[in-house]
Chain A
């Protein structure tokens, strides 16, 4: 579909608004939505790109919203409700992803062209059993390769950090292999949750 504003580009943002029972559809390209500094003047009303995104989400949910009682789901950590999320198109904190659970799936599918699973890098060794976890040996090989590159480039401080991690892994390999979680994952679980909550009301 072609953008209604410039009649040139392909429209990426589709937006439905119901005013006094009249349904109006907007189709805008990213350039038109973005380049006016986040604000686009629609016929008779204005909306921001965040509203555009949430408009997109609303189409996805449409009449189902009340059935799944989306309004009642709230993130226990930051206090953001699923409705608020849909309105702003932004999460409040990392825990929102867990809190909104399966209600999120269609949203993610919609904006990520039906993809649902991460396939990229990870900040720590995988611990979930279902996940194909890289073997200690292959992690070790990767780290050693990285180490050689750092030494070639004379980046010794970073090389020292890698060497320590390699030594840790070697010890694990020598041991029973149970202690897979490594130092960084241990780090994660030992951290305490601070209590923060959304300050603004609905």
Chain B
């Protein structure tokens, strides 16, 4: 269990995925419930424990075991900081971390699969992959779902599909999403128009990090709005087309800026690089913006000495949960900002020697 909280970088993140200059990761999540138990919000402790038992037995006895060596991570055995870190690594949801203690996550060795038990629904099957790999990710989630459904009695009806705790997930129970870096679109003020036109297609986008409305570091998550009335494949296809569109617009925007405003862009990127190399204290908001600039520099081939994988690692390393978990204690903002700057310096300088 410790291994999930030791490393900032999940194994699945170590290989750069397709189109990684724009798409950081692809994710598919399936919501499932067991027919004969109340949903987690109404479940007693005994119900919840029984559900956990049934799911881990299913994962253990089906052909899943042969392929995926799941480790069961009970929420009751994690500290607040450990849970926070797992949220920052996207291995569990905030809801699972904050919810009742009769909950668990089954996580495979590469951390690409997480089956959350007793989240808002009895099961949330999540598969994640680096870069733009929506179809592959859906195939992986679908296989796991097929294997589990041979063992488990899912709540399903012919008319409404898979029955979920919240009506926004009923039907396929699928949420198909990509995490994307959009500095070009943001700098050229195209985001609002894109949000509007995607909304008409049933595709929603929101900031991935940060509180309130601010999308820290130009990183957004884009996903399907509805889950009913369309097949899983149709929804995967919808998100695939939307992502392809987004990649085109983002690359065009970057090239435009590179042509029209080359020097100001270089100045912005190298200033941010310099700040990250030398800052002694840095808060979350500034770190996210500077890292976005450096990521853009790397993806435009302007900062060749910085390996891409470091940027993905720094996304997790700069989060408060990780920083405090490494320190083994709660820290105030002052200490967190010191430690954040230090870790960023260490990671970056390592590759400049």
- Chain A residues near B (Cβ < 8 Å): 3, 5-10, 12, 29-32, 34-38, 53, 77-78, 80, 88-94, 97-98, 104, 107-108, 111-124, 126-128, 131, 155, 157-158, 160-161, 184, 187-188, 191-194, 196, 198-199
What's the nearest-Cβ distance from chain B to residue A58, in Å?
A: 14
- Decide: B226 and A31 in contact? CB cutoff 8 A: no
Do A119 and B229 touch (CB < 8 A)?
yes
Additional pairs, 10, CB under 8 Å, beyond known A35-B207, A91-B167, A112-B228: A31-B213, A34-B206, A37-B94, A90-B166, A97-B160, A98-B157, A111-B168, A121-B232, A194-B36, A198-B38
> In the complex the two chains form, is B226's CB within 8 Å of A113's CB?
yes
Is there contact, CB below 8 Å, between A53 and B35? no
Smallest CB separation, B218 vs chain A (Å): 14
A-side contacts of B304, CB under 8 Å: none
With an 8 A cutoff between CB atoms, is B156 at the interface? yes
Given A5-B212, A118-B158 in contact, is the A90-B163 Cβ separation under 8 Å? no
- Indicate if B230 sits at the interface (CB-CB under 8 A): yes
**Known contacts A9-B213, A36-B211, A117-B159; A78/B42 CB under 8 A:** yes
Complex contacts, A187 vs chain B, CB 8 Å:
153
Report if B147 contacts A (CB, 8 A).
Answer: yes
CA distance A185 to B118 in the complex (A): 25
Tell me which of B35, B156, B212 contacts A191 (CB under 8 A): B35
Is B161 close to A, CB under 8 A?
yes
Count CB-based A-B contacts (< 8 Å): 187
- State whether B38 touches A93 (Cβ < 8 A): yes
Complex contacts, A77 vs chain B, CB 8 Å:
38
Interface residue from A88, A188, A196 paired with B38 (Cβ < 8 Å): A196
B207 CB to nearest A CB, Å: 5
Is B263 part of the binding interface, using a Cβ–Cβ cutoff of 8 Å?
Answer: no
Q: Which residues of B come within 8 Å of A, CB atoms? A: 33, 35-39, 41-44, 47, 63, 66-67, 94, 98, 120, 142, 145, 147, 149-150, 153-168, 170-172, 174, 192, 195-196, 199, 202, 204, 206-207, 210-215, 225-232, 234
A158–B145 Cα distance when bound, in Å, is: 13
Among B41, B170, B210, B213, point to the contact of A5 (Cβ < 8 A): B213
A78: chain B residues at CB < 8 Å are: 38, 42
A197 vs B12: C-alpha distance when bound (angstroms): 42
| Shortest distance between the CB of B189 and any CB in chain A (Å) | 12
Verify A116–B229 contact, CB threshold 8 A.
yes
Q: Contact at B210–A119, with CB atoms within 8 Å?
A: no
Cβ-closest 9 pairs across A and B: A6-B213, A115-B229, A118-B161, A94-B155, A158-B63, A120-B172, A157-B63, A112-B228, A31-B206
Distance of A168 from chain B, by nearest CB (Å)? 13
**Given A32-B212, A123-B156, A196-B37, does the pair A53, B225 have CB atoms closer than 8 Å?**
no
Q: With the chains together, A5 CA to B210 CA distance in Å?
A: 14
Which residues from chain A contact B44 at a C-beta distance below 8 Å? 196, 199
Given the known inter-chain contacts A122-B156, A188-B35, A194-B36, please indicate yes or no for A111 contacting B167, CB distance below 8 A: yes
Given A118-B160, A118-B161, check contact A193 B36 (CB 8 Å): yes
Q: How far is the CB of A169 from chain B (nearest CB, A)?
A: 15
Nearest B residue (CB) for A112: B228
What DSSP secondary structure best describes chain B's contact surface? Answer: loop
CA–CA, A54 to B150, complex, Å? 35
* 20 A-B contacts (beta carbon < 8 Å): A6-B213, A10-B196, A10-B199, A12-B204, A30-B204, A35-B211, A89-B166, A90-B41, A92-B41, A97-B163, A104-B167, A113-B225, A115-B171, A116-B159, A118-B171, A119-B229, A119-B231, A120-B174, A123-B149, A158-B66
| Cβ distance A2 to chain B, nearest Cβ, rounded Å | 9
Which of A5, A31, A80, A89 is the one whose CB lies under 8 Å from B42? A80
The residues of A that contact B215 with a CB separation of less than 8 Å are 31
**B207 contacts which chain A residues (CB < 8 A)?**
31, 35
User: In whole Å, how far is B37's beta carbon from the nearest beta carbon of chain A?
Assistant: 7
Contact A155 B206 (CB under 8 A): no
Q: How far in angstroms is the closest Cβ of chain A from B301?
A: 32
Residues of A within 8 Å of B230, CB to CB, are: 115, 119-120
Instruction: Decide: A90 near B213, CB < 8 A? Known: A118-B172, A196-B47.
Output: no
Which residues from B are CB-within-8-Å of A192?
36
* Across-interface contacts of B149 in A (CB, < 8 A): 123
Residue pair B42, A117 in contact (C-beta under 8 Å):
no
Q: In the assembled complex, how far is the CB of residue A4 from the closest CB belonging to chain B, in whole angstroms?
A: 10
Please determine whether B154 and A123 come into contact, CB atoms closer than 8 angstroms.
yes
Is the Cβ of B35 less than 8 Å from the Cβ of A94?
Answer: yes
Query: Which among A35, A38, A78 has the highest number of chain B CB atoms within 10 Å?
Result: A35
How long is the Cα–Cα vector from A189 to B157 in the complex, in angstroms?
13
A9 touches B231 (CB 8 A): no
**What are the residues of chain A within 8 A of B166 when measuring CB–CB?**
53, 89-91
What separation, in Å, do the CA atoms of A30 and B168 have in the docked complex?
13
Residue among A10, A160, A192 with the highest chain B CB neighbour number at 10 A: A10
Contact B163 A94 (CB under 8 A): yes
A91–B165 CB distance below 8 A:
yes
Q: Which residue of B lies closest to A88 (CB)?
A: B41
